[in-house]
Amino acid sequence: MTTIWVVLPGLAETPEEFGRVVELLPGLDVRVIDPWCTPVTAGADELRRAAGLPADAEIGLVGHSIGGLAVLRWALTRPAEVSRVVLVDTSLTSETGWRWLYPGTRGNRAVRTVLRWLGRIGVPRVLGPVVRRLIVRTGSATNRDLLSKATVRERYGDARSWLLFWDELANSWALAAEVGTLATGLTASTTLLVATGGSSRFTARRWLAGQRRLADVLEGAVEVLPDSAHLVHLDRPDAIAAAVKA
């Protein structure tokens, strides 16, 4: 049976920016979740529907940043569905944030109220493209953005975008706590790509140690990318493609 690969982007990331990864995997069925339509932190059933997966599909999962946590929950709770896992500079299970801002709390509701108001008065439309430029400048060693200006305006200028980003972040904290209670050896073959270049070099030692500890728990293999910062799909899409094809 042919493996269908599902890519789960990280926080504030678009499906379009994974285009180079898809291009490097010709002949493979690769489907990238669109976080503007389906939260990356959604449950496996919702993610399956978003990816259009048939019931009997053999699944490979690629998760970047908080998408890695969603991949882990899927693979750990439904091991029979998942045959391969590639974690790309994944968030760690220790990144549990502040509980007073978890979904459903008073603090979270207050933040959401402010972000909805900012969306209504048009702040994302004005500052959204600036936010995108800062994300790429700080998160990519090559500072090479694959998104067109039109896509940046459409995505990051959307009145809902900042609320969407906040919801994903707050949900990722709760997800990290959940995955931390589930983490054990995976039956799926697992590779962890870890970026230590660019802006990531400032915390590389601690970050790599955390990734190695996670790999030990999952019984996975670590590949270090010293020439990539956090946005590995922009800096080293070839490394992601190679891990998928391995």
Per-residue pLDDT, averaged over 110-125, amounts to 98
What pLDDT does residue 185 have? 87
Per-residue pLDDT, averaged over 80-99, amounts to 97
Per-residue pLDDT, averaged over 66-74, amounts to 98
Strands of the sheet containing 221-225, edge to edge, are 29-32, 3-8, 58-64, 82-88, 189-195, 221-225
pLDDT of 93 above 80: yes
Count of CB atoms within 10 A of residue 188's CB?
A: 23
Class of domain 3-98+165-245: alpha beta
Q: Could you read off the pLDDT of 152-162 as tens digits, one per residue?
A: 999 999 999 99
pLDDT of 10 above 80: yes
What pLDDT does residue 194 have? 98
Extents of the domains making up the chain: 3-98+165-245
Contacts of residue 69, Cβ cutoff 8 Å, sequence gap at least 6: 41, 63, 90, 91, 93, 172, 175, 176, 179
